Amino acid sequence: MKILVTGGTGFIASWVIKYLLEDGHDVNTTVREINNKSKTEHLTNHAAGAKGVLTFFEADLLQEGSFEEAVKECDAVIHTASPFFISGIKDARKQLIEPAVKGTRNVMQAVEKEEKVKKVVVTSSVAAVYGDNSEIIHTAGNIFTEEHWNQTSSEKHQAYNYSKTAAEKEAWRFHENQKRWELAVINPGFVLGPSLTKRTDSTSINFIYSLLNGRFKQGIPNLYFGIVDVRDVAKAHVQAATKLDANGRHILVAESMSAMDITRTLQEQYDDQYAFPKKTLPKALLYLFGPFMGFSWSYVRKNIGIPIYFDNTKAQKQLGITFKNPRETIKEQAAQLIEDGLVQVK
């Protein structure tokens, strides 16, 4: 097959492209700066020894028509390009919502113009399934499934979650208005694991990096995440793109873990070599100081100390995913950061 992967230099997309090329598929991929070799070199290196052919195209999520050249003659499209950051947000609409929604719209409009496309895969998130951890109490069996939709996030509360929800709904809107192509959506939890580059600006990579470099040494919020390995997420995208009968939403979560569970996993591996947090921060303390750390009172009330659980049955059955142990994922990611010289012992 010939497959377009948008946002090719991203954490997930890089693995998707690697697997597609190894399987013999030809890949078109879009990047923001086609001449920035530092960001594309790892993809070029993987393509050099692979069965498939890799071709780069320059595209901008906000520019109408930007993806039309890249989608030509493609059998499938995997749309991964979307902003992912949850701190330092000054203008949620411009930084998160518009790029996510308009980017999806621009990709879908390009798909509509290419008759060969029969399958579209969109990288969404469990953030489109739920907004706050407290929503778990309203689910049957205390577990989130593909049937659930985030209905509580907004531009002012959980803006990233809102952007993923709005973008996914935009994809479904395009799908419902045609009959030529099928849509599969991948809804991963917190994606961790080794990277194909040495970048640390990914939110997923930065979390483990922060645990190792002592950012949370005074204590860590009692937050819970659904963890999944980046390689499992990439394989799910490949399966969804190449199997025409793999449609609909797919939750990708191996296991739910707290921030302290993740910390203990690293402590088991490295003992006291790094300035790991020794305790979770009391919820009462977060009410006092949370706003200075980027946590609103509403966020603290609805998320801190509330475990969450996910049903991953569909991804296992329809996409054939056997999930990696998240503890091994965490250790591998940390080992890579250390080996690359990006963190130092305390």
Per residue in 289-346, pLDDT tens? 666 566 788 889 999 999 999 999 999 999 999 999 999 999 999 999 999 888 878 6
In the chain, the percentage of residues whose pLDDT exceeds 90 is 74
Query: 50 in a domain, yes or no?
Result: yes
Pull the structure tokens for residue 245. 């009968």
CA–CA gap between residue 304 and residue 287 (Å, rounded): 10
- Assess contact for 122 and 115: CB atoms under 8 A: no
For residue 87, pLDDT beyond 60: no
| pLDDT at residue 62, rounded to an integer | 87
| pLDDT at residue 295, rounded to an integer | 72
* From 96-105, 197-206, 230-239, 337-346, the region with the lowest mean pLDDT: 197-206
For residue 24, pLDDT beyond 80: yes
| pLDDT at residue 88, rounded to an integer | 57
SS3 265: helix
Q: Name 57's bridge partners.
A: 30
- Give 2-14 pLDDT, tens digit per residue: 999 999 999 999 9
Average pLDDT over residues 48-59: 94
Tell me the CA distances in angstroms from 205 to 47, 187, 195, 277, 338, one per residue in order: 24, 18, 8, 18, 12
CA–CA gap between residue 47 and residue 31 (Å, rounded): 16
Average pLDDT over residues 44-51: 92
Best mean pLDDT range from 78-82, 97-101, 207-211, 325-329: 325-329
Burial of 193 (0-12, 13-18, 19+ CB in 10 A): buried
Query: 346 in a domain, yes or no?
Result: no
| pLDDT at residue 313, rounded to an integer | 97
Half-sphere exposure in the Cβ direction for 73 (13 Å, CA): 6
Q: How many domains does the chain have?
A: 1
- Assess contact for 318 and 250: CB atoms under 8 A: yes
Sheet holding 224-229, edge to edge: 190-192, 224-229, 255-258
Query: 199 in a domain, yes or no?
Result: yes
Maximum alpha-carbon separation in the chain: 58
Strands 255-258 and 224-229: antiparallel
- Give 126-169 pLDDT, tens digit per residue: 999 999 999 999 999 999 999 999 999 999 888 899 999 999 99
| pLDDT at residue 291, rounded to an integer | 64
Average pLDDT over residues 193-222: 86
Average pLDDT over residues 277-300: 79
In the chain, the percentage of residues whose pLDDT exceeds 70 is 95
- Give 229-246 pLDDT, tens digit per residue: 999 999 999 999 999 889
| pLDDT at residue 91, rounded to an integer | 77
Half-sphere exposure in the Cβ direction for 201 (13 Å, CA): 6
End-to-end CA distance of the chain: 49
- Assess contact for 11 and 80: CB atoms under 8 A: no
What confidence category does residue 39 fall into, taking pLDDT thresholds of 50, 70 and 90? confident
For residue 257, pLDDT beyond 80: yes
Residue identified by tokens 């190894």 is 22
Query: 71 in a domain, yes or no?
Result: yes
CA–CA gap between residue 278 and residue 216 (Å, rounded): 9
Q: Which amino acid is at 175?
A: H
For residue 84, pLDDT beyond 70: no
The parent domain of residue 240 ranges over 2-339
CATH number at residue 71: 3.40.50.720
Pull the structure tokens for residue 95. 């930084």
SS3 311: coil
Pull the structure tokens for residue 19. 């697997």
For residue 185, pLDDT beyond 90: yes
Query: 88 in a domain, yes or no?
Result: yes
Query: 344 in a domain, yes or no?
Result: no
Query: 345 in a domain, yes or no?
Result: no
| pLDDT at residue 94, rounded to an integer | 82
| Mean pLDDT of all residues belonging to the chain | 92
